[in-house]
Amino acid sequence: MTTQASRFQRYLLPGLAFKSAVIGGGYATGRELAEFFLPSGPWGGLAAMTLSMVVWSVVCILTFLLARAIRAYDYRSFFQHLLGRGWWTFEVAYLALIVVVLAVFGAAAGELASTMFDWPRLVGTLLLVVVITAVVRAGTTAVERLFKLMSLFMYVVYALAACLILFRFGDDAMARMSSSSGLGPRWALDGLTYAGYNVFAAVSTLIVVRHLLCRRDAVVAGALAGPLAIVPAMVFYVCMLAFLPDIADAPLPSDVMLGKLGLPWFQWLFRLMIMVALLETGVALMASVDARIRSNWRERTGTEPGTALRTALVAAILLGAVFLADAIGLVALIAKGYRLLAYAVLATYVVPLLLYASKQLWTRRGDAFGPAVAPSTARSVG
């Protein structure tokens, strides 16, 4: 299958998978953008986003290079090679972060279900759990098809939103940008923190690394991952400036903005796009967990785990996050949960990866991250 990979699969699919794990929940609703970037002002927020983009691209390039070289298509195999016996330290941070992220998704889905259909919040959250579980159960091909089709839909809706909002309120947004000439004091810290707790999304893309044929593919795919993930946020952030201070503390800033636009049909379409973003991100994260379950099960038993068992485990993790989402609000989850876990991911993933890459480039130079080893070697490392 690898030798037949298309350019889309080699260059764009990894970046779209990364975007899928980043954009859902707070990003899609505008909540994360308000939390991390608005305090730095118009230009400081954009500078922080640019910094996040650079960090994401660098980490994705290094992750794709290493994963392709050792043929690690699940995060357990990847971190057994990167951290050796300490690989489990990343898994603790990763699973904790997944629970918090899924809790954010559950809270956002509940808010949308209540707003759109007047349903109890828990109903919308449980519906999201069911659909995520079904797509993951359908397998890797279904997951990749979701990344492709839903990404196109999301980019179109974001572009349309930008055109409509800036046409009506663009003067207000530009006025705020022109009245601010400096960067906020925390722009670099907020940009690094935002990049740090989202950079774990690169790990969820390992299921599509098998399409990369060479190191050049890994570099191109990784370099594109950052822009593919951040460009919609930058465009939407500029639109958000026109609605300050009303959206600063709103659980769903996008809903406030589109409500003032006065186009009910587009407000409904954008809410649907947010639900798609929640689904996409949930699928990306749980597909990585499913790949880890399958890899470990094969290693221990020599057989594939049953579909019923995998489905039950995925559903159990999702339901655990549902109860967390029902107990804690969306704003509190993003403000209090993400920052601490971001530092844990940086310590167990980004720092070791940068040190490993430095060693590769120093000792092997032109042969760094290659050639790919046999699959049996990748499974036995660590």
User: pLDDT per residue over 51-105, tens digit each?
Assistant: 999 999 999 999 999 999 999 989 999 999 999 999 999 988 888 778 777 877 7
Question: Can you give the pLDDT at residue 326?
Answer: 56
Asked, for residue 382, whether it belongs to a domain, the answer is no
Q: What is the average pLDDT value for the chain, to the nearest integer?
A: 84
> Domain of 132: which CATH number?
1.20.1740.10
| Global pTM value | 0.86
pLDDT at 376 over 50: no
The C-alpha angle 271, 56, 28, rounded to 5 degrees, equals 5
Those residues whose C-beta lies under 8 Å from the C-beta of residue 316, and which sit 6 or more positions away, are none
What percent of the chain clears pLDDT 90, i.e. is strictly above it? Answer: 37
List the single range of 19-23, 48-52, 169-173, 227-231 with lowest mean pLDDT: 19-23
Angular region, 306: left φ>0, alpha ψ -120 to 50, beta rest? beta
Q: What is the mean pLDDT of residues 243-250?
A: 86
Q: What is d(CA 163, CA 159) in angstroms, rounded to the nearest whole number? A: 6
Does the structure show a pLDDT above 90 at 314? no
Distance, in Å, from the CA atom of 32 to the CA atom of 331, rounded to the nearest integer, reads 9
- Please check whether residue 254 lies inside any domain of the structure: yes
N-term to C-term CA, the chain: 28
Residue keyed to tokens 């983009």: 53
Per residue in 263-278, pLDDT tens? 989 988 998 888 888 8
Per the domain annotation, does 381 fall within a domain? Answer: no
What is the structure's pLDDT at 313? 87
Tens digits of per-residue pLDDT, 284-302?
A: 889 998 988 888 888 888 8
- Tens of pLDDT along 2-56? 457 889 999 999 999 999 888 875 577 788 898 889 988 899 999 999 999 999 9
pLDDT for residue 245 is more than 50: yes
For 121, other C-beta atoms within 10 Å of its C-beta total 18
Q: How many domains does the chain have?
A: 1
Dist CA 168 CA 373 (whole Å): 56
Residue in the block written with tokens 């190191």? 215
pLDDT at 185 over 90: no
Q: Does any domain span residue 372? A: yes
**Per the domain annotation, does 2 fall within a domain?**
no
Predicted confidence band at 335 (pLDDT cuts at 50, 70, 90)?
low
pLDDT on residue 306: 84
Half-sphere exposure of 280 (CA within 13 A, CB side): 32
Question: Is 339 domain-assigned?
Answer: yes
Higher pLDDT, residue 28 or 245: 245
Q: What's the whole-number mean pLDDT along residues 164-182?
A: 89
1 falls within a domain: no
Q: How confident is the model at residue 377 (pLDDT cuts 50, 70, 90)?
A: very low
Q: How confident is the model at residue 374 (pLDDT cuts 50, 70, 90)?
A: very low
pLDDT over 60 at 279, yes or no: yes
The answer to whether position 173 is within a domain reads yes
Q: Is the pLDDT of residue 208 over 70?
A: yes
Which range marks the domain in which residue 276 is found?
A: 7-376
Give the SS3 label for residue 361: helix
Using pLDDT thresholds of 50, 70 and 90, give the confidence band for residue 320.
confident
| Pair 194, 36: CB distance under 8 Å | yes
Residue 189, CA distances (Å) to 36, 207, 246 in order: 10, 31, 25
